[in-house]
Chains A and B, each alone.
Chain A
């Protein structure tokens, strides 16, 4: 009798140990899977940086080496001088910053009208904002190009920046979603104290909305920084190009082999670097932005 009990106990112990071992094995396997996929994600980055530091002979070596020897830092010099990288970076920053600042004002005032002013047009307007959010750029781009041409705006930054003054359905929606979370009581109290809508917008809503504003600025900046079609259509003069056009011009001018390839990958690295630094500096803002823009 007692033997069976102890036998049972031993079996039970063995079973728990087995389960524990199985658990640990699964965990190990999952660790390896996460790391394995992560390494796959990392390889193109390594390849980018590695190519940017290789000599033309190393680039055609088979099998390729990941660690360049010698390290060709000179590619970075070529990368910023083959095409006028500093100029293009300056142009890109001018456009991206102006657009972000313009939207910071235009989108927030409209979002305020959609969240804290009680007026009959509100629902219709919000429906219109939602309806235009998914509008393809192509459906307005031709008449706009013709209008901007007649205004003499082709080959200036104006067609890329001025429209931001009118707001953007996507960012208005994003801001509105945040503004409605600000307690109504707060606004009402200020109203009773005789504050104007402009005063409430400026002194209550905007300061409280700082995290959302950071999201707006970051995402607006990235989209303009990355934009290719707008600059492609409006900026013909090389000196006005943004980086996206400059990178494309690189291959057109120098092809994609030999020294040009190393220089191009160096330029591509430098072009991507600000995005990565921005992400690492403001990871929370980014993640929140992606989630809210995609979800809310």
Chain B
């Protein structure tokens, strides 16, 4: 449009100028809700959080500037903080790859043309629809050491099951197990990705004498790698903020993330500091650390996406 305007006469340029002005105004007007929101409920609060993170702010007292003390305390004086880092890292580094692998396996099973495929798809996907609070309550009961379904099933084949959520060593794997059950959303995305792989590729490979495993390694995995990368990064970001199930199962109060703080994940500890102890300055410092880590991961995502040539975001 700009080129067109330059080529035409002064009069029409003035008209186009007016047109461009009108378009600009329309653009501003239509995006006004989000522009206002961006300033009022995103940028302003973010900067305020940054400011608070350098203060001691015990509501309802006014914030008092203390420099980087909150950050220093987090890494040197707080005995819970390293634990939350470990817990969240565990959940992310083991839980997310486990979810990806399991979701892919499920998607591949659902991609096989068999009778009743539609029903099995629904069955595999349904758990993802359970609200997180209900999910946590159900699995706490499923994994009850004495009366739960899982340990009863294990007992029937002669295995005495672990204490699951009640054992600090088993509590995080139990969370991961619960997440695997509700992995349906990831499965759906993988299923769509698998269906997007051109069938000719498999045919060509079969003619060349490639076996099932070879076809999987050399065609399926590379073709769906952008989806894997995307799910990996969004999974990691969600995992860093993991809160609801940890709150329900690990609890807050004087002994948060029980047993022995093994379920005290980053998001839960931030809540405990901010909304239980009302240490708003300290919680703000935690929030900014989380933000920086998330931004870093997002940046890696965008950089990675550019490298995977056949993935076009814009």
A: residues with CB less than 8 A from B are: 27, 30-31, 33-35, 37-38, 41-45, 47-48, 51, 59-60, 62-64, 106, 109-110, 112-114, 117-122, 125-126, 128-132, 134-147, 163, 165-167, 169, 172, 197, 201, 222, 225-226, 228-229, 232-233, 243-244, 247-248, 251, 256, 261, 264-265, 268, 271-272, 275-276, 279-280, 283, 287, 290-291, 294-295
Contacts and interface: CB of A to CB of B under 8 A. Distances in A.
A119 B271 contact: no
How many residues of B sit at the interface, in one of the four size bands?
Answer: 35 or more
A117 B23 contact: yes
Contacts of A290: 185, 188-189
A113 B185 CA distance: 30
B192 A110 contact: no
Given A106-B33, A143-B48, A163-B37, A228 B243 contact: yes
Contacts, number: 254
B126 A167 contact: no
Contacts of A291: 188-189, 192
A44 B138 contact: yes
10 contacts: A47-B149, A119-B28, A126-B314, A136-B287, A138-B291, A142-B48, A264-B137, A279-B125, A294-B189, A294-B227
Interface of B: 1, 20, 23-24, 26-31, 33-38, 40-42, 44-46, 48-49, 52, 59, 106, 109-110, 112, 114-115, 120, 122-127, 129-134, 137-142, 146-147, 149, 152, 155-156, 181, 185-186, 188-189, 192-193, 227, 230-231, 234, 237, 240-241, 243-244, 247-248, 267, 270-271, 274-275, 280, 283-284, 286-288, 290-291, 294, 297-298, 313-314
Contacts of B40: 166
A51 to B, nearest CB: 7
A33 B109 contact: yes
In the A-B complex, list the 6 residue pairs whose CB atoms are closest, starting with the nearest.
A166-B37, A119-B27, A113-B30, A140-B45, A143-B48, A143-B45
B124 A38 contact: yes
A131 B155 CA distance: 50
B114 A30 contact: yes
Given A38-B123, A134-B294, A233-B275, A142 B33 contact: no
Nearest to A128: B38
Contact of B126 (A60, A135, A251, A279): A279
Contacts of B290: 136, 138-139
Contacts of A132: 38, 42
Nearest to A163: B41
